[in-house]
A = this chain, B = another copy of it.
Amino acid sequence: MTRLQNDDFLRALRKEAVTRTPIWLMRQAGRYLPEYCASRKRAGDFLSLCKSPDLATEVTLQPLARYDLDAAILFSDILTVPDAMGLGLYFESGEGPRFLRPLREEADIAALTAPDPSVSLRYVMDAVSSTVRALNRSVPLIGFSGSPWTLACYMVEGGGSKDFRQIKTMLYARPDLLHRILAVTSEAVIAYLNAQIESGVQAVMLFDTWGGVLSTAAYREFSLAYMARILAALHRTWAGETIPAIVFTKGGGLWLEDVARSGCDGVGLDWSVDLGEARRRVGSHVALQGNLDPYVLFAPPDVIEREARATLASFYHSEIQGESGNSRTGLIFNLGHGISQFTPPEHVHALIETVHGYPLPE
């Protein structure tokens, strides 16, 4: 394979020297872009957009055409996996995702099986192959999945939730049932991510959107343990390339040390954590990805520049005990959460220019 034209994202994840701090944005192909809204309108609805490899490729490339981003991310939804498990995903307008058949009954949980991604998730693999071709070795493509805990939240609640009452009741009252769901879902995620790697993604990310609603003990047992199981079973090299993995637990700032020891190459951070403090806590054996508050992008460009520089300075000027301090790589700049649909698209330039222009320490 020919080299990527821009591999700073992968190099930062491997703790190798970079030419500049790489940046990409969670949900960078999204509703804040008018061209995305146009594609989505043509698709008819969100799920049809995910299920059309051509349209998924088109929207994946849109932010890269507009901005100087250092990575693309597969356009898909985390709930494709439970959908393929037969739960019947649908979207109610303004209501978010829903499942026709939430997972509550013991018999349904016993009958749950991991789908073969080459069959029921073929459309995702087609989107990966198509996107890789279209990217033409410009920047890497990131594949992703929801974490087993996060997927289980939707599967048991039947959609989004404010209080996670159903799944937490199961967690405390019938942990055996929840462990069965998580084990099967982990198996599904392993097959799903390995199929994405085989189809051409150059890195993978686990989105643990709801890990932060757990207690420390429950997080370790019901979320992190299953992510570690997945990380141990992924193809970590493929076609002669190492495939790095990032774990992002939203609201998981208390558990960064645990996440860093889970077998991942990078730890995603939400905006609540101070980046330098995170680096001091986890050391430099893993990369960090994050973590500007997405709402900084609603301020004028001079504020965006100031806030981005403060985030960069916090990382690059943090001291790590027992280390020489000159290993100034390992940062992938991102927002601390998906970019808001209300973000003024022109504000994103100020952020990317600031990050790319920030001098790497000697």
- Residues on A close to B: CB < 8 A? 163-165, 168-169, 171-173, 212-219, 251, 253-254, 271-274, 277, 293, 295-296, 298-300, 303, 307, 310, 336, 340, 342
A274 & B217 in contact (Cβ 8 Å cutoff)? yes
Judge whether B169 and A272 touch: CB under 8 Å.
no
**Known contacts A215-B293, A216-B272, A293-B215; is-contact A299 B173 (Cβ 8 Å):** yes
State whether B300 touches A173 (Cβ < 8 A).
yes
- Within 8 Å CB of A164, what residues of B? 295
Inter-subunit contact B277/A216 (CB<8 Å): yes
Nearest to A253 among chain B residues (CB) is B254
Neighbour of A295 across the interface among B172, B212, B336, CB < 8 A: B172
* Contact of A293 with B218 in the complex, beta carbons under 8 Å: yes
Min C-beta distance of A67 to chain B, whole Å: 20
**Which residues does chain B contribute within 8 Å of A300, judged by CB atoms?**
173
Which DSSP category, helix, strand, loop or mixed, fits chain A's interface? helix
Copies of this chain, tallied across the complex: 2
CB-CB < 8 A to A173: which residues of B? 298-300, 303
Q: Residues of B contacting A218 with CB < 8 Å?
A: 293
Minimum CB–CB distance for A301 against chain B, Å: 11
A277 neighbours in B (Cβ, 8 Å): 216
B165 engages A295 (CB within 8 Å): yes
Q: Which residues of B contact A273 (CB under 8 A)?
A: 216, 254
Known: A163-B340, A215-B293, A277-B216. A298 touches B253 (CB 8 A): no
Known: A172-B307, A212-B272. A298 touches B165 (CB 8 A): yes
Q: What is the CB-to-nearest-CB distance from A66 to chain B, in angstroms, rounded to a whole number?
A: 22
Q: Which of A173, A272, A296, A307 has the most CB of B within 10 A?
A: A272
Which B residues touch A307, using CB under 8 A?
Answer: 172
How close is A271's CB to chain B, nearest CB, in angstroms? Answer: 5
B residues within 8 A CB of A296?
Answer: 172
Give chain B residues whose Cβ lies under 8 Å from the Cβ of A272: 212-216, 219, 251, 254
Specify the chain B residue showing the minimal Cβ separation from A298: B169
Contact status of A172 and B254, CB under 8 A, knowing A293-B218, A310-B217: no
List 14 A-B pairs, Cβ < 8 Å. Answer: A163-B295, A164-B295, A165-B342, A168-B293, A172-B295, A172-B296, A172-B299, A172-B307, A173-B299, A217-B274, A218-B293, A219-B272, A254-B254, A254-B272
- When distances are taken between beta carbons in the complex, the residues of chain B under 8 Å from A216 are 272-274, 277
| Closest-CB distance, A342 to chain B (whole angstroms) | 7
Q: What 6 pairs between A and B have smallest CB-CB spacing?
A: A168-B295, A172-B299, A169-B298, A216-B274, A173-B299, A253-B254
Provided the pairs A214-B272, A274-B217 are in contact, do residues A169 and B295 lie with their beta carbons within 8 angstroms?
Answer: yes
Query: How distant is A310 from chain B, measured CB to nearest CB, in Å?
Result: 7
Q: How far is the CA of A215 from the CA of B314 in the complex (A)?
A: 13
Residues of B within 8 A of A336 (CB): 215
Q: How far is the CA of A253 from the CA of B310 in the complex (A)?
A: 22
Residue of B nearest to A173 (CB): B299
